Structure formats: structure tokens, C-alpha cells
Chains A and B, each alone.
Chain A
Amino acid sequence: MSTLHLVRQSAFATNDFAQCLSVLDHQDSIVLMDDGCYNLKHSLMDSLIKRVDGTININVISSHAQARAIETLTEINHIEMSDVVELTFNHKKVITWQ
């Protein structure tokens, strides 16, 4: 495992998620949190899911998505903050895209 990416911004508002995807490595993981949850419905997410075909671990914080009434996708893991802590130490480093 290499990098854990914490994505906190909507790709409809900023370029952060696109920049994250441009440095994404095949062993990395993504956590969508805060307005980053809106990326579940962004075309970048569709193409990411098609491109990586299950090799990238993509997660969303359940309460953050649920609070925003965002429907989730079957390809995405639903996690809690305690899982983010665990992921922090399962990866070599963390980059926050905010």
C-alpha cells in the first residue's frame, strides 16, 4: 500500500479531485469525506471506476454521504472515521486534497 488520499472537495467546484487522480498509483486508496462525497456522482468517478476495475480501494465516510443525501455505489466501501485512522497506518503516507 502506498498513499492514502483524503478527498474533501467537490469536483464540481474545484480541480482537486482531478489533481488527486493524476498522481494516483495502483496501490493507493481514496477516502471521500466532507464535500468530497459529491464526487460519487461526478463523471471523474465513473471513469475512475471503469479504469481501475476494482484495483483501487475507494471509500466514502457513510455519515458524510448520508448527511448529504447522496446515493452510494456498490463499488465503494462504506467506512467510519475509525477506519480512516486504520487506513492511515496501512498506507505509507497521507495526502489531503482540500
Chain B
Amino acid sequence: MKTLAVVVTTSPYSHLTITALTYVEAALVAGINVIGVFFYQDGVMHANEDISIASDEYQAIAHWQRLQQEYQLPLHVCITAAEKRGIACDSIDNEKINQIFTVSGLGELVELTTKASRLVQF
């Protein structure tokens, strides 16, 4: 079974994220079991509900949401990295966390890494 875990460290306003999204979608289309995307470092900015990107620019968050809904793709956001960037406070119900993301710790990355046959970082 081809299982893939992906780590995203770039923000929704970084053009590098478009490459990550294109890759993950290509994997899903190819029938690869993408067991999760782990957002770390500036990648956690994706979970910020308040992010507003001009409508004529690439909507990274909307694309993650689309993949999450179409393929039940698990999206994990690292809580420590998120708090550092003012996204989560004390509760997982925090309004600032976009609901398409699961609030996780680095332990989730351990889990994904041990389960996946390939780990790819973007």
C-alpha cells in the first residue's frame, strides 16, 4: 500500500505552497493514500481564520479545504507553532482556528511518519 505523509512549512501566501498543493492533489488523483498533511513552522498560518488573501490571488486555504472535503484528507496543525504565531490560545474551540484543521501536537508527526511509506516536506 502506497501511503504518503506530507509536511508543509510554508505559509498560505507563499508561492511555494502552490507546489505543495499541486503535489498533494496529484497524489490523491493517482490513488495514493495520503494519510495526513502536517502543518509546521509558517505552515500553521493556513489555520488562521483571519487570513484574507486578495480574491484574484491563489487561495491556498480554499484549495486545502477542497481537498479535505473531496478526499477526507486529514490536515493537522501543530499547536505549539500555531500559538507562537497567535493562532490558537487555550482551547481547541478557539475561533481563530479554521475548522478544517485538526489541532495536533508533534506526536501526530511521529504517528504519521511511522505509518507512512513516504514522507515529503514542502
Binding site for B on A (CB under 8 A): 6, 8, 33-34, 64, 80-82, 84-86, 88-89, 93-94, 96, 98
Contacts and interface: CB of A to CB of B under 8 A. Distances in A.
Contact of B23 (A84, A89, A93, A98): A84
B117 to A, nearest CB: 8
Q: Is the interface of B mostly helix, strand, loop or mixed?
A: mixed
29 contacts: A6-B120, A8-B16, A34-B16, A80-B26, A81-B22, A81-B23, A81-B26, A82-B26, A82-B29, A82-B30, A84-B23, A85-B23, A85-B26, A85-B27, A85-B30, A86-B30, A88-B4, A88-B27, A88-B120, A89-B2, A89-B32, A89-B118, A93-B118, A93-B119, A94-B121, A96-B122, A98-B16, A98-B121, A98-B122
B69 interface: no
Contacts of A80: 26
A33 B121 CA distance: 13
Contacts of B4: 88
Nearest to B22: A81
B26 A84 contact: yes
Nearest to A97: B121
A8 B30 contact: no
Contact of A96 (B22, B27, B117, B121): B121
A89 B2 CA distance: 7
A13 B27 CA distance: 30
B59 interface: no
